[in-house]
Structure 1
């Protein structure tokens, strides 16, 4: 639809920040008038030049008018409308000295549109950044209706207009509530094979939606205005003192277990180990002083194996809190290392996780060092994605809230989160947008200052929720209903109505689901009862009929349909298991599950029962083959398109290791033996 834009832009800017009273309008682009020119400083930064390119390209896509880019000393611009971007002679009168690096001014004058943002020079612990102008350009383009729903060109929504009128006045954006907003770790997926072009598209998509880390290397981030540099969540002990380098000569650096030194964990009560940890962090900080934080986190799911007197002394008094078995040891170590680091690299924050067996805050630390940063990990039983965070009747969310408050009381330099909502355990639909909106508002109130979201994104089934994450981490106060309605209309076109019904029904089903849904989407399979699948299938059939022959919308719908069909197949697998299986008791922790070798992995939840079914196991294998078959053109599921050597796949599965996709580590155990639930499957599958 071609239209004149005025009222929408006026309302947008009135809601976006502080706006001077505007009684006049400026026609930025009008039929019969010369197109405006973009003007940047002669010595514009790389990010300001990139902002000009983005503005020029998108305005041409919107209006069909070519928009030239000039610098402020090229030629007279007296008789033409100007879009002045970044610091230049044309923006000298804008007061930007006090702006945060991610803030910007949008000043609409009678003949000029000015967008200029804050800058931050490099200093120890703070990388150079000048992303404000670029963010202002993206905010302006969004006010025109532009959206970047997916990284590929076909995932963008670009409205068509012949005229753009803007209300005169000045807007100053607010400071983003979260200092770090990470996503994807630099690519479009985690397991799927990526080309260089895929990675670049993902990086551009991420910055257009204003995430500020996870683009890859810092050099890549320069054109995006720089990036926040944190060593996010790295399990660093084995990298600081690797067994391959130290174990032979210094076994005393490693854990004492049943009277013997073992290479898989460390003796962190050893003062020399503490000094080496600090020395390694200091050396890295001095080599790259723009790094904001480095990790002193244990190996994954370890960190408490050593039984020597020095390590046991770090534990005392023992932590009584759930999930805090080795919190005292890890936090005492972190505090000691942070104290040593502060003497030579006072700008560096030393980070460790509230995770696994050290999730709860310690009971033997009264106050953390001023340079200690804690990353909260709402994994497994510390979060339930069905319910609001402050729902006191939900013990899982109540655990997280109390844990966050306990850590905050120790006065760390900052709290961040390592978000696990992405589907590392479930590659199907993740209808958590409304839950995520609740989370972001409450995370802010808890004093959490940043978020890291790892990769493992099945773009087809979960694209809506991944996009909405970027919107909410930028603005937790987003009008979620309005933004969702825009998504349904823009992304699905004529299929907007049935697809709105599809997504909203999924979100309601999650809210009403009687069984918890933990990190990585684990537990989602119980949502898809035959009754719900039938209802969702009706919406999907209507949507497919409405976009038939319309290639853009057919392509956008394809991945969402694949996510629905995956869930339908899971539902049928569960019904098949109930119909053909025999009731078996779940195995205990120290035994392998009773699945065949190519599906087996160590059990970690005992109790309850499950239906053991050879027919269901074969249906699961068929499901994985089908997933690979629909995963060729688009990254529908975050998995390798082809299995590796079959023998190797069986070996990896036996070890419980990721092979070709994170969810292949969990999914077979969850759907075939209900491993995430300590319940009788006769009760769990009553609706199947």
Structure 2
């Protein structure tokens, strides 16, 4: 009788879903999955979608041994428009969705018949995106950070119904991260998985590393965009410096072939010919590449090393002298004119190939006085940008100049990727309030940018460390990566969310992150903590308020009293002063205590779970805040008798209390 009742209950639930045309992941009675999987279109991303659907079920529900072949209803995974799935084609036609409307990465989840759902897209990446959105909408979870994997604190027994049809598409076509100190010997699986699970679609790959890890991009649907500083790869000094010194820039009357501090003589037709020949050979050897790099060498001195080679100077424009007092002469015109010539030659053989170029460092941020070929992808990389103010905040002295350059580029091309810097070079601290990130991304969307790809530090087991003598100079203490991840995981998560949908509310992002990372017992307090923390950080920037002082940093660089951004000298002490918005340490304690009280509430909730992982995650936030307070001379009493109430054992100017 019991089995008959269960069958009738399940049958009634299925009929109700069919009648209401909703997608239901779990049985409302047993908490078990009621959906099986069927792959209609075999594609690397679709295969990943099937595998990760299974893993998510096993990690987030009570079905630890879920068998995807069994279920009252079938979730079909198919690609439309390529002849592999009639069911997908029919669903798109029924909902009047075309590739132009849905894009390459949008998806559609729809009712097919009483026994079948269809999740479809025009690419495998779209299907993969849809899988993760199903779990977000059904269970309210997303992969919180690379180091956590799919280790969710809770097992979910109920799922929300998703009204059908349901479709989404991303706001930006390029969404991802460039991992600083990324070594090239192996794919970073945990990072790639986290990025795909958060709907990102690109990671930084250089000409060298593409040979090692290019094959690993397809299962995640990552773009085959190869970038980086590439002059030294195409025309290496060891090969050409002695035989063709004229290929290199003429600096102070001498040919300079250094990979840092000098560039190529782009006015020389022979240089252009070598570049075109080598690029064509590289593309032939790597047929999956869609974007090749033409990034100049990294340098910060001597006019960025462009020099005054007579043939190259002919490419310059009188307008390269920017009308800002003390600003160096720009060489963007010379660089982009050469890039235009090269990509047009490459396009004669590979018409759809694009080329990556930089707008990086002061001499190269101004837009060129020439057209920008539509096959050029410009990565605008504003080193030393103020991160506590929006880029287009007119009251920010530091960003006003950068915003001018951004708008000049946007007037010439929409193929722009914004490269921000989400890293602290000396300490681990988050560099940007989430509200400022949201404002920036909405601004980039209004300008029609392709997307954004900040540079950041790896947050996954052992970071970017790679074994072997060649990588020894780049090795870091594994705790270096852990501290960074503890401080920046929410920022990295929010970036992924906002590049998909810049209109998403910050409160919703914090809630999703906390539920997924801390679990249902600790999440309420941690939501309060991160919300209050973000408000304090944002308020410290006084957005929209004119700066009392305009501080001169260099010949043409200015900062404001409230500015805060990345550079080589910033420390957690600088962050602490901006966060608490005071230079007076005595004022810090009263400002910090409300946040500490919420943290203590969260730590108590975490301990009540009896889950060491949850305790560790909450205490990591406590340790980060403790380090910030130490900058102002505060020490927190560690006493088991005071576990529910924060108390300082030392304040500024005091000896440790006993």
TM more than 0.5: yes
The 1:373–1:81 alpha-carbon spacing in structure 2 relative to 1, beyond 3 Å, is closer
**Structure 2 counterpart SS, 1:375:** strand
Aligned with 2:311: secondary structure?
Answer: helix
Taking a change above 3 Å as real, the CA distance of residues 43 and 565 of structure 1, as seen in their structure-2 partners, is same
Hey, what does 1:68 align to over in structure 2?
67
Q: Which of residues 90, 93, 106 in structure 2 aligns to 1:93? A: 90
> What are the Cα deviations for residues 430-484 of structure 1, in whole angstroms up to 9, with x where unaligned?
3421110001111011111122222325101111111111111111111222222
Matched, 1:358 2:355: no
Per the alignment, do residues 566 and 323 of structure 1 end up closer, same or farther by CA in structure 2, a change over 3 Å counting?
farther
The answer to whether 1:369 aligns with 2:373 is yes
Comparing 154-163 and 467-476, the one that deviates more: 154-163
Offset from partner CA, 1:168-205 (integer Å, 9 cap, x none): 5212223x2211112244xxx747x99979x3222111
Deviation (angstroms), 1:556 = 1.0
SS of the residue corresponding to residue 92 of structure 2 reads coil
21-30 or 433-442, which moves further after superposition? 21-30
Partner of 1:526: 574
**For the aligned residues, what is the CA RMSD?**
3.5
For 1:239 and 1:533, locate their aligned partners in 2 and report how far apart those are by CA, in whole Å: 53
Whether the 8 Å contact between 1:215 and 1:221 is mirrored in structure 2 is: no
Contiguous gaps of at least 5 residues in structure 2: 1-16, 80-84, 206-212, 459-483, 544-559, 578-584, 635-658
Corresponding residue of 2:175: 181
Please give the residue correspondences for 1:315-326 in structure 2 after superposition, counting only pairs within 5 Å: 315-321=316-322, 322=327, 325-326=330-331
Higher alpha-carbon deviation: 95-104 or 208-217? 95-104
1:437 aligns with 2:438: yes
- The 2-side partners of 1:34 and 1:489 are apart by 21
CA deviation string 1:40-82 (max 9, x = no partner): 2366333223212322332344442354323xxxxxx8x9322
Aligned to 1:535: 591
| Runs of 4+ residues over 6 Å off in structure 1 | 193-197
Query: For residue 239 of structure 1, what is the aligned residue in structure 2?
Result: 233
Q: Alpha-carbon deviation of 1:89?
A: 6.7
Task: Report if the CA contact (8 A) 2:31-2:62 is conserved.
Answer: no
| SS in structure 2 at match of 1:172 | strand
| Cα pair 1:106 1:172 within 8 Å, conserved | yes
Relative to 1, partners in 2 of residues 1:54 and 1:394: Cα closer, same or farther, differing over 3 Å?
A: same
Task: Measure the CA separation in 2 of the matches of 1:69 and 1:235.
Answer: 45
What's the secondary structure of 2:257's corresponding residue? strand
Aligned to 2:165, the other structure's residue is in SS state strand
| TM-score (normalised: structure 1) | 0.69
Match of 2:275 in 1: 277
1:102 maps to: 105
Which of 393, 396, 402 does residue 394 from structure 1 map onto?
396
Q: What is the aligned partner in structure 2 of residue 257 from structure 1? A: 251
**Corresponding position: 1:202 with 2:258:** no
How far has the Cα of 1:289 moved from its partner?
3.5
Q: Quick check: 1:236–1:298 contact (8 Å CA) kept in 2?
A: yes
CA deviations 1:112-167 (Å, max 9, x no partner) are: 462423245xxxxxxxxx11111111001001211211123477546544344525
Structure 2 residue aligned with 1:515: 562
Give the aligned partner of residue 140 of structure 2. Answer: 145
2:553 corresponds in structure 1 to none
> Alignment partner of 1:518: what SS?
coil
Residue 483 of structure 1 corresponds to: 509
Task: Name the SS for the 1:182 alignment partner.
Answer: strand
- State the shift of 1:248 in Å: 1.1
Match of 1:74 in 2: none
- What whole-Å deviation, never above 9, does each CA across 1:57-110 have from its counterpart, x for those lacking one? 32344442354323xxxxxx8x93222223557656322763533121111467
State the secondary structure of the residue aligned to 1:95.
helix
Matching residue within 329, 342, 346 for 2:347: 342
Q: Distance in 2 between matches of 1:26 and 1:134?
A: 17
Q: Which residue pairs with 2:620 in the alignment? A: 559
Q: In 2 relative to 1, CA 448–532 (structure 1 residues): closer, same or farther, beyond 3 Å?
A: farther
Give 1:551 shift.
1.9
Measure the CA separation in 1 of the matches of 2:244 and 2:307. 15
Cα distance 1:32–1:211, how it changes in 2: closer, same or farther (>3 A)? closer
Unaligned runs of 5+ in 1: 1-19, 71-76, 121-129, 574-688
Helix, strand or coil at the partner of 1:147: coil
Contact 2:31 2:157 in 1 (8 A): no
SS in 2 for 1:307: coil
Paired residue secondary structure (2:422) = coil
1:378 and 1:270 map into 2 onto residues whose CA distance is 29
Structure 2 contact 365–380 (Cα < 8 Å) conserved: no
- Residue 268 of structure 1: how far off its partner (Å): 2.2
The residue aligned with 1:461 is 487
- Rounded to whole Å, the distance in 2 between the matches of 1:423 and 1:140 is 35
**8 Å Cα contact 1:108/1:169 also seen in 2:** yes
**1:561-607 deviations in whole A, cap 9, x for unaligned?**
3432333344459xxxxxxxxxxxxxxxxxxxxxxxxxxxxxxxxxx
CA contact (8 A) 1:212 1:228 kept: yes
